[in-house]
Amino acid sequence: MTLNAAIARFATLFAIAYLLLGARQVWLQVVAGPAIAADRHNPRLALLARFRGAIVARDGTLLAVSTPKGRSYPLGASLAHAVGYASATYGTSGLEAAFDADLSPRLVANDPVRQFRSLFGRGETDADQRGATVVTTIDPRVQSALYQGLSAFPRAAGIALDPRTGEVLAIASVPSFDPATIDRSFSTLARDPRSPLLDRALDGLYPPGSTFKIFTAAAALDAGAVTPDSTFEDTGGYQIGSFVVHDDESEATGEQDLAGAFALSSNVDFAQIALKLGAHRWFEYAGRWGFGRPLEFTLPAAVDHLPTRESVTPSILAQLGFGQADLLVTPLRMALIGATIASGGNEPRPYLVRAVRWNDGRQTPDASAGSLATPIASETASEVRDLMVACVESGTGTPAALPGVTVAGKTGTATNPAGRSHAWFVAFAPADAPRVAVAVVVENVGYGATYAAPIARRVLAAGLGPT
């Protein structure tokens, strides 16, 4: 082979390699570039953090904003799980993750030339580069009331929403964390046995206890298994085969109509109601309500855990009637049950973000009022509302009463095999024209009336206060 031929062959190989390298670079920049830039594990996002868009409350209060010192979270731990965090090391969570593509500076994130120029301060202006603003449905006043109430306990969660629209007014979980310090604290938080990174409002699964009597009463009334005039006898126990249902501390409520059974929260009576309803219709109404299916929500939420149809014996069905047996739900689910009664049988679709606002004036509605289902008739919802009003006026729910406001609610004390009972309360107000629905759970403390109802009362008061 001559020298010229060798040089020509080498030049050809060099040209092919150059073309392959060029093609690879074009693919990375044009085809894969946007996905790589948007990847929450891409450390380059940290270099662009000062251009990341803000997350704000419904009234414009800043919930997350970028500063020269990094990402700041003015409400701190009170909204940490829902707003989330943005970290070059640990990625993103909450709304920071769900709306990362919108919050990221789009022009810079997808253009390597602009990325390079921005490092030397030669890019577009801050306004041109900054990501969009995410406008949430959060009401800071309601959020403060909820978080302060929950913070009195080691582990608790709650959620408040507008039953007319499905807008989430407040959502909180304790223990919590400071999202601004996530890079320094993540490893410690991840090892903490209290699980502070767990969003109990969306991912905590609990037996609902007697708050589930809202569902049982609604299903039984709607199916015609009972009427408001039906009467029940509670002598302190009810035997089903070898299993005996008892009330808390072996109480006996005697003979009661449905309102009395509900207000006094008789497990014995609601075991009988569940048996009258029957397993087939119980599962039918669970399906109507969407139990066991993923919820349509802005953020991921745990799916309810139901027993299988084949496993439901009469004794298990009786326990399901008062929210026990193999049944686990989230606070979000229980808030929606209360909101369904409040909205006349329509189950509102919950959402946490109203809109995404761009710097050029565009605004993209992320969600609006909608319905998940209509599991019960409006007449049934009205009857259950009356039961819940009686519970607060003269039953176990009196600690949730507000002066001058008719509150509808239901207590729950859910048996927990691992320790003390979980305290629940589900409520809405005003009962005749509901504007706020709330669900609260406090882990391992005891009675719902003692621990959860006062928190719900505080949240309702904040939500119904002057606007």
Helix residue ranges, H only, 182-330:
182-191, 200-203, 213-223, 258-263, 267-277, 279-289, 314-320
Closest-CA residue to 298 (of 71, 49, 84, 73): 84
- Rounded Cα distance between 467 and 456, Å, is 19
- Which residues of the chain fall below pLDDT 50? 43, 46-47, 108-109, 467
Nearest Cα neighbor of 362 from 98, 64, 106 is 106
pLDDT tens-digit readout, 384-415: 999 999 999 999 999 999 999 999 999 999 98
Alpha-helix runs per DSSP H in 39-111? 44-47, 80-83, 94-98, 100-103, 106-109
* pLDDT at residue 41 in the model: 53
Decide if 210 is catalytic. yes
Q: What is the pTM of this model?
A: 0.85
Interaxial angle between packed helices 331-342 and 213-223, expressed in degrees from 0 to 180 and rounded to the nearest 10:
40
CA dihedral 230, 235, 241, 246 (to 10 degrees): 100
Cβ atoms of 76 and 182 closer than 8 Å: no
What pLDDT score does 27 carry?
Answer: 63
Cα 6 to chain centroid distance, Å, stands at 69
From the list 388, 219, 340, 343, the residue with the least C-alpha distance to 287 is 219
Report residue 317: phi and psi, to 5°. -60, -40
Residue 34: predicted pLDDT: 59
At 38, is the secondary structure helix, strand, or coil? Answer: helix
Q: How many alpha carbons lie under 13 Å from residue 178 in its C-beta half-sphere?
A: 8
Q: 208, 319 in Cβ contact below 8 A?
A: no
* pLDDT at residue 51, as a whole number: 83
Catalytic residue among 78, 87, 173, 210: 210
pLDDT value, residue 360: 79
CA gap 104, 235 in Å, rounded: 63
